[in-house]
């Protein structure tokens, strides 16, 4: 029941996304092909490309054609480079995914222990100094966007110290800076959330009961506290993974990383609409799918889901 | 002649029937007590009476129903003064409102000067009396009191119970008094209705219900009421 | 504005003030040098004349950064206005519309929130053309769903409040409820979040400009300057670092300020640390199960909710502790169990099972309390860990404290569940708590207490959250348990206590005021005990007389009057009661004990 409702929501969201990406090219004022190819392009070429995009057909046929294309994996051809858009995505997406997944993993592995440890340390207003330092530091770090951090990292570690490559994708060392730039912000955000969540759980009756049993600390925290925080933490972690995707767009641009985000920016600047359209669709769909999977995973993990699902 | 009559009232949440075909008369100038345990549907019935949940069946003679809620800390808007809260339901010209608010506060044994204060400055018992004053301002033909003393200490509970009884005497108010506490209901109500799993089990005069109950469930409830100086015994 | 005294929000405030001043004065002060083209100084690095170097037309970069403040802030402002104009009404809709419309509005918000803001912004920027207008619209549209969701959540938390129901019952219109009750009660968090969203817009716009999708030359904001600077980052890192630092400082400023204010708004009154009471430690008796002497619990700031409590419990005895809210009864129980929450300070002597607790090491304390003391709390729905199976939660008591093998401990758990009369205990032990009813959970918790060999069971309002018919089962179960262990039953309800206990201890304002056997309750001598019994209606209360009440309110835990704490509410009080504190002697602390006729 829960799964069905959630599936219905996913379908609606995907439909909205499809329609939005389809209408993008039609919402652009003037002739998109002319805008893309420039005023100097011969009229025959513009007409040929218009025909290729199907822009002269009636709108409902265009929509049908677009849907058919999406379902068969045919996203058209780049107006500028003549590559197939599907080929571009297949070529670029893995590099982006590597960055996002690595950053998300690191964020989870660092943030969960850190947040829990601080929650335990600062429970009931203990150690107000640690709390202040932690919230100030994470607040500051969370406020600095990944692209600024990326620029700073390049200047310090690549240019001044020369320890790591400043740009490009070439061997394990080239992953370090982009992944750090992507992961630092989420670590701060996630660590704070984990701490707040852990503090909330620590305040609950069942933990008071566990304390009344006078269990050793390790058992208290790992066995009683952690499982109850995991659902909330995983939700945020999943959403974080989804939110890393726009972050990759900016970071890829700083590090000239051969990913999808860099290509998307290029295509928007060059008014290469078929590419931009498809990439926005792919990113949107990935985010929606990740959110969906997180929800489903939570439904499976939570022992109370049987109640929630009805 | 009953002031209000509930006929064949049913509330469904999805497939769950919370209130199942309940008919109950609330005679004029009387207090009807509604007892039941959690999940019996007594609070849902209250919400249906004031239109907070959709229901089937009819309610007659209760065109102006007002309600007072359980939690004295949640039932008043923290950003509104006591006076503003009480005045909100008054259908009166602005000039006449202050006087009416003062009258209502006096009616519930509160100092009219409290009109300018905020809920956080009042004790639980005082807040519950403000909520009563707010409800009385709408000149209700029926007042629904849902567990209004459950969150109060015993020493304060008595004052609220006495107030309900004196309001009935002085204003001729009809009250549906809902509580899980049979001893409290017996003290305030003229008629007691016992509810279980959405249905009425037994209805009758308070003295009869508490001394000569017919339904086995009512008997079980009575047995379970703790009494000072009476030790608990196993279920008969 | 006390929040601004702590360093983080203060830093934020200073940063924001500096940025705002720059936005106001920047163009007037440095506008000229920012626009001055100098063919002789193109693409220079750091020099005394140009601290951050020059751009491709020889214009001073530092001046350009300072001047760009205004445009950067202005665009962020516009984007926030667009976001609020769309998001706020959308977020309020679910609370205002009738159910079907509300569901549709909530669905729209859900669908929009799922898309990442940057993608929405890029989409809008593409459609409305590259440039500042497209970027502002895009950022605004990207902000709107976030704000809508926030407004919706906040409004929903208020919309179910009883006072909103009360207004609905009074016939107040939906729109008026939204304006009069909902919005004022969420205004504070909403405004704070708009501040934070403003910081987000500032960064988002900088990001768009940085990608080349925002402000286009000849206009320039911080993001555009960073975009230009990054292309020469290898040669002149300062050209990129300058705008990066400007964006970073502004973002951090708004964030710290917003968070500081949010924290100040949500902060509960924090009381300053004060001195604990100077209660003399007294020797606790070592016979009996429990002996408490001069127990006090103090909190920083002067609140002393438990004052000088003495309590003795003999083996097999059931002692009831009665009092109203604030009487200190629950904290007394927590102090015995070693569970008083930080920063509460416990003083006095506690002797449990013949051992003076102050003489034990933390490990010994844990073992003693873990095996010989069991606690049962008020709300069984929240006292069992929802993530763990019931059997495992019982078994861990034995595996940790008695070093029992897991299998044996599980078998024992099943046995204890059977003893508290849970049907099909083997099956039940494998289930999670959410499949148990309230009464069953409370029984499971008692079973948990019976896993060790408890000498004392402390039950704190164990039946308050339960139905009366279940309440009796639990009380009977506790009495059965008392055949092997002593029980302390804490309750606000003197009738409940009298059902089960041998002896009753009455507490008022943190002190024990009377101690008597259940049989003596009807002949209680303390005016407070008598008033408490008279105020509790039972099935024999005379319906024709008004119910007895106790006028006034109990004193706050901060006050420690010289005389009897009950004197202001007591009909028998004399002037002596207000100046002399009665001591607990012969089971009563009262200068004017009442006698039954």
Interface of B with C in 196-215 (CB under 8 A): 206, 210
Largest CA distance in chain A: 83
Verify whether the Cβ–Cβ distance C541 to B186 is below 8 Å. Answer: yes
8 A C-beta contact, residue A86 and residue A277? no
Q: Do C171 and B123 touch (CB under 8 A)?
A: no
- CA torsion A162-A163-A165-A169 (nearest 10°) is 180
| Three-state SS at C322 | strand
Q: Name chain B's partners: 3 or more CB pairs within 8 A.
A: C
Per-residue pLDDT tens for C168-197?
A: 887 788 888 888 888 888 888 888 888 888
Torsion sign over Cα C134, C139, C142, C147? negative
Please tell me the distance in Å from C15's CA to the nearest CA on chain A.
12
- Among A25, A28, A135, A148, most C C-beta atoms within 10 A, so best to mutate, is A148
**CA-based nearest residue to C294, from C512, C147, C473, C127:** C512
- Complex ipTM > 0.90: no
Sort C283 into a burial class: Cβ within 10 Å, 0-12 / 13-18 / 19+. exposed
pLDDT at residue A23, as a whole number: 84
A contacts of C116 (beta carbons < 8 Å)? 242-243, 245-246, 283-284, 287
pLDDT tier, A133 (very low <50, low <70, confident <90, very high otherwise): confident
Rounded Cα–Cα distance for residues C318 and C458 (Å) = 10
For residue C236, what pLDDT is reported? 80
Angle in degrees, CA C187, C193, C199, rounded to 5: 145
Are B210 and C471 a contacting pair at CB < 8 A?
A: no
pLDDT at A241 over 80: no
Residue C505's pLDDT band (cuts 50, 70, 90): very high
Contact of C498 with chain B, judged by CB distance below 8 Å, is answered with yes
Phi, psi of C66 (to 5 degrees): -65, -40
Q: How confident is the model at residue C282 (pLDDT cuts 50, 70, 90)?
A: very low
Q: Which residues of B touch C167 (CB under 8 A)?
A: 77, 88-89
Interface test with C, best of A123, A143, A259, A281 (most C CBs within 10 A): A143
- Residue whose tokens read 């129903």: B65
Number of H helices, E strands in chain B: 8, 9
- Residues in C touching B154 (Cβ below 8 Å): 324, 492-494, 532, 535-536
Amino acid A166: pLDDT:
76
Record: contact C500-B85, CB cut-off 8 A? no
Q: Which of C183-187, C280-284, C400-404, C511-515 has the highest mean pLDDT?
A: C511-515
User: pLDDT category, C96, cuts 50, 70, 90?
Assistant: confident
Sign of CA dihedral B108, B113, B115, B120: negative
pLDDT score of C425: 93
Please say if the pLDDT value at position C272 is more than 50.
Answer: no
Q: How far apart are CA C221 and CA C551, in angstroms?
A: 68
pLDDT at C155 over 80: yes
Q: What angle do CA C520, C525, C529 make, to 5 degrees?
A: 85
d(CA A283, CA A279): 6
pLDDT in the model for residue A304: 56
Question: Nearest Cα to A286, choosing from A255, A248, A253?
Answer: A248
Residue C274 has pLDDT above 80, yes or no: no
**How far apart, in whole angstroms, are the C-alpha atoms of residue C445 and residue C383?**
8
In sequence order, the 6+-apart residues with CB closer than 8 A to the CB of C389 are C429, C430, C431, C432
- As beta bridge partners, residue B24 has B6
Q: Would you state the pLDDT for residue C285?
A: 54
Per-residue confidence (pLDDT) for residue C284, from 0 to 100: 52
Q: Is the dihedral of CA A10, A16, A20, A23 positive or negative?
A: positive
Q: What is the pLDDT of residue C597?
A: 60
For residue C4, the 8-state DSSP code is G
Please determine, for residue C4, whether its predicted confidence score (pLDDT) is greater than 60.
no
Looking at the complex, does the CB of residue C114 fall below 8 Å from at least one CB of chain A?
A: yes
> Considering CB atoms only, which of A147, A154, A280 is closest to C210?
A147
Give the whole-angstrom CA distance, residue C162 versus residue C370.
42
Segment-wise mean pLDDT, segments of 10 residues, chain B, 236 residues = 82 89 92 92 91 89 86 86 90 88 91 90 88 91 91 87 91 92 93 94 94 93 80 53
Which residue in the set B77, B180, B230 is minimally distant from C468, CB to CB? B180
C388: left (phi over 0), alpha (psi -120 to 50) or beta: beta
Query: Best interface-test mutation with B: which of C520, C547, C555 has the largest number of B CBs within 10 A?
Result: C547
Higher pLDDT among residues C596 and C459, named by residue: C459
Burial of C77 from C-beta contacts in 10 A (0-12 / 13-18 / 19+): middle
Where does residue B18 rank: exposed (0-12), middle (13-18), buried (19+ CB within 10 A)? buried
**pLDDT tens column, C190-248:** 888 888 888 888 888 888 888 888 888 888 888 888 888 887 877 788 888 888 888 88
The DSSP bridge partners found for residue B10 are B56
Which has more pLDDT, B177 or C41?
A: B177
Q: Which of residues 527-546 of C touch A (CB under 8 A)?
A: none
Write B108-111 long-range contacts (CB < 8 A, 24+).
Answer: B108/B132, B108/B133, B108/B136, B108/B163, B108/B167, B109/B159, B109/B163
pLDDT (mean) for A271-287: 85
What is the per-residue pLDDT for A303?
58
| pLDDT (tens digit per residue) in A1-31 | 677 877 888 888 888 888 888 888 778 777 7
Encode pLDDT of C423-465 as tens digits: 999 999 999 888 888 888 988 988 988 888 889 999 999 888 8
pLDDT of A55-113, one tens digit each?
777 888 888 888 888 888 888 888 778 888 888 888 888 988 888 888 988 888 888 88
Whether the model pTM is above 0.80: no
Residue C277's pLDDT band (cuts 50, 70, 90): very low
Residue of C nearest to A224 (CA): C385
Peptide bond preceding C218: is omega within 30 degrees of 0, i.e. cis? yes
Which two three-digit tokens encode residue A87? 């080929």
Q: In this predicted model, which residue has the larger pLDDT, A167 or C24? A: C24
For the segment C127-149, what is each residue's pLDDT rounded down to a tens digit?
Answer: 887 788 888 988 898 889 889 98
Is residue A132 over pLDDT 70?
yes
Mean pLDDT of A212-226: 81
Cβ contact B186–C500 (<8 Å): no
What does the pLDDT look like over C553-572, one tens digit per residue?
A: 888 888 888 889 999 999 89
Q: What confidence score (pLDDT) does residue C278 get?
A: 31
pLDDT at B231: 63
Neighbours of C25 (CB within 10 A): 13
Residue B11: predicted pLDDT: 93
Higher pLDDT, A46 or C6: A46
| pLDDT tens for each residue of C360-383 | 888 888 888 888 888 888 888 888
At C278, which helix (H) or strand (E)?
none
Q: How high is the mean pLDDT of chain C?
A: 84
Q: Tell me whether residues B131 and C496 touch, CB distance under 8 A.
A: no
B176 touches chain C (CB under 8 A): no
Closest CA relative to residue B136, chosen from B101, B161, B96: B101
Q: What is the pLDDT of residue C265?
A: 62
Instruction: Confirm or reject contact between C375 and chain A (CB < 8 A).
Output: yes
C413, pLDDT greater than 80: yes
CA atoms within 13 A on the CB side of A224: 30
Quote the CA–CA distance of C379 and A27 in Å, as a whole number: 58
């Amino acid at each position: 029941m829960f799964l069905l409702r959630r599936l219905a929501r996913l379908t609606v969201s995907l439909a909205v996304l499809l329609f939005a990406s389809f209408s993008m090219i039609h919402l652009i004022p003037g002739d998109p092909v002319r805008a893309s190819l420039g005023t100097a392009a011969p009229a025959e070429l513009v007409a040929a490309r218009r025909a290729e995009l199907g822009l002269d057909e009636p709108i409902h046929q265009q929509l049908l054609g677009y849907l058919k294309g999406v379902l068969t994996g045919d996203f058209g051809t780049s107006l500028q480079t003549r590559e197939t858009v599907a080929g571009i995505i297949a070529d670029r997406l893995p590099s982006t995914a590597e960055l996002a997944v690595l950053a998300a993993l690191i964020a989870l592995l660092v943030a969960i222990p850190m947040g829990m440890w601080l929650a335990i340390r600062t429970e009931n207003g203990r150690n107000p100094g640690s709390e202040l330092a932690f919230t100030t530091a994470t607040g500051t770090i969370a406020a600095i966007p990944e692209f600024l951090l990326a620029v700073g990292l390049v200047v310090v570690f690549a240019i001044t110290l020369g320890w790591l490559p400043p740009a490009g994708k070439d061997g394990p060392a080239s992953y370090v800076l982009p992944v750090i730039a992507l992961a630092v912000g989420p670590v701060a955000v996630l660590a704070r959330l984990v701490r707040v969540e852990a503090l909330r759980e620590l305040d609950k009756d069942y933990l008071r009961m566990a304390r009344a049993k006078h269990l050793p600390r390790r058992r208290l925290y790992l066995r009683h506290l952690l499982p109850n925080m995991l659902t909330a933490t995983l939700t945020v972690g999943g959403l974080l993974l989804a939110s890393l995707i726009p972050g990759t767009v900016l970071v890829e641009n700083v590090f000239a990383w051969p990913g999808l985000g860099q290509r998307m920016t290029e295509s928007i600047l060059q008014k290469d609409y078929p590419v931009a359209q498809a990439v926005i669709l792919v990113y949107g769909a990935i985010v929606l799918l990740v959110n969906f999977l997180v929800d489903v995973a939570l439904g499976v993990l939570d022992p109370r889901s049987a109640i929630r699902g009805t | 002649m009953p002031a209000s009559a509930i006929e064949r009232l049913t509330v469904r949440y999805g497939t769950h029937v919370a209130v199942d075909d309940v008919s109950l008369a609330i005679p004029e100038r009387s207090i009807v007590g509604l007892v039941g345990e959690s999940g019996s549907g007594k609070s849902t019935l209250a919400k249906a009476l004031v239109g907070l949940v959709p229901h089937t069946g009819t309610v007659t003679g209760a065109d102006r129903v007002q309600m007072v809620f359980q939690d004295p800390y949640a039932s008043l808007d923290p950003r509104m003064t006591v006076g503003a809260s009480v005045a909100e339901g008054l259908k009166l010209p602005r000039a006449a409102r202050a006087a009416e608010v003062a009258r209502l506060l006096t009616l519930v044994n509160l100092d009219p000067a409290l009109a300018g204060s905020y809920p956080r400055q009042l004790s639980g018992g005082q807040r519950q009396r403000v909520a009563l004053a707010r409800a009385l301002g709408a000149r209700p033909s029926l007042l629904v009191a849902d567990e209004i003393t459950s969150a109060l200490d015993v020493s304060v509970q008595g004052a609220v119970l006495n107030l309900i009884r004196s309001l009935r005497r002085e204003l001729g108010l009809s009250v549906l008094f809902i509580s899980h506490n049979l001893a409290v209901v017996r003290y305030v109500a003229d008629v007691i209705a016992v509810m279980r799993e959405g249905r009425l089990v037994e209805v009758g005069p308070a003295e009869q219900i508490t001394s000569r109950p017919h339904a086995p469930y009512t008997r079980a409830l009575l047995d379970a009421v703790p009494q000072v100086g009476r030790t608990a015994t196993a279920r008969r | 504005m006390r929040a601004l005294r702590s360093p983080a929000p203060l830093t934020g405030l200073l940063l924001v003030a500096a940025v705002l001043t720059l936005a106001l004065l920047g163009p007037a002060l440095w506008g000229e040098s920012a626009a001055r083209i100098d063919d002789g100084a193109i693409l220079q690095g750091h020099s005394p004349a140009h601290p951050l170097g020059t751009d491709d037309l020889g214009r001073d970069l530092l001046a350009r950064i300072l001047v760009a403040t205004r445009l950067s802030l202005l665009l962020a402002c516009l984007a926030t206005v667009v976001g609020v104009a769309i998001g706020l009404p959308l977020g309020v809709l679910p609370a205002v519309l009738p159910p079907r419309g509300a569901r549709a509005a909530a669905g729209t918000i859900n669908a929009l929130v799922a898309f990442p803001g940057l993608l929405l912004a890029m989409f809008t920027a593409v459609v409305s053309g590259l440039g500042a207008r497209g970027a502002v619209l895009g950022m605004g549209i990207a902000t709107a769903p976030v704000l809508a969701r926030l407004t919706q959540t906040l409004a929903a938390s208020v919309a179910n409040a009883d006072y909103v129901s009360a207004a609905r019952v009074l016939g107040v219109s939906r729109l008026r409820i939204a304006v009069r009750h909902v919005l004022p009660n969420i205004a504070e968090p909403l405004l704070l979040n708009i501040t934070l969203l403003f910081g987000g817009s500032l960064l988002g716009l900088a990001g768009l400009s940085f990608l080349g999708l925002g402000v286009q030359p000849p206009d320039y904001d911080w993001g555009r300057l960073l975009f230009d600077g990054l292309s020469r980052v290898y040669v002149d890192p300062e050209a990129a670092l300058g705008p990066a630092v400007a964006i970073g400082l502004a973002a951090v400023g708004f964030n710290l300020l917003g968070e500081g204010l949010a924290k100040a708004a949500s902060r509960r009154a924090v009381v300053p640390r004060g001195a604990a009471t100077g209660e003399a430690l007294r020797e606790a008796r070592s016979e009996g199960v429990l002996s408490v002497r001069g127990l006090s619990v103090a909190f920083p700031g002067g609140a002393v909710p438990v004052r000088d409590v003495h309590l003795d419990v003999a083996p097999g005895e059931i002692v009831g502790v009665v009092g109203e809210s604030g009487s200190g009864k629950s904290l007394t129980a927590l102090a015995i169990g070693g569970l008083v929450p930080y920063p509460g300070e416990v003083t006095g002597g506690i002797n449990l099972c013949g051992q003076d607790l102050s003489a034990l090491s933390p490990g010994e304390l844990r073992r003693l309390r873990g095996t010989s003391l069991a606690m049962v709390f008020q709300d069984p729905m929240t006292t069992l860990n929802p993530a763990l199976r019931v059997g495992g939660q019982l078994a861990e008591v034995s595996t940790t404290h008695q070093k029992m093998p897991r299998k044996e401990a599980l078998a024992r758990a099943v046995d204890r569940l059977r003893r508290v009369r849970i049907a099909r205990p083997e099956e039940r032990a494998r289930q999670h708590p959410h499949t148990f009813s309230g009464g069953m959970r409370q029984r499971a918790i008692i079973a948990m207490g019976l896993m060790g060999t408890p000498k004392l069971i402390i039950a704190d309002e164990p039946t308050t959250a339960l139905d009366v018919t279940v309440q009796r089962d639990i009380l009977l179960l506790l009495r059965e348990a008392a055949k092997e262990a002593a029980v302390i039953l804490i309750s606000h309800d003197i009738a409940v206590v009298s059902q089960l206990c041998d002896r009753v201890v009455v507490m008022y304002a943190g002190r024990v005021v009377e101690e008597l056997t259940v049989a003596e309750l009807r002949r209680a001598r303390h005016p407070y005990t008598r008033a408490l019994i008279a105020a509790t209606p039972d099935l024999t209360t005379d319906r024709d007389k008004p119910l007895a009440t106790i006028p006034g309110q109990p004193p706050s835990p901060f006050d420690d009057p010289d005389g009897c704490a009950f004197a202001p509410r007591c009909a028998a009080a004399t002037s002596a009661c207000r100046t002399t504190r009665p001591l607990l002697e012969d089971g009563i602390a009262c200068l004017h004990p009442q006698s039954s006729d």
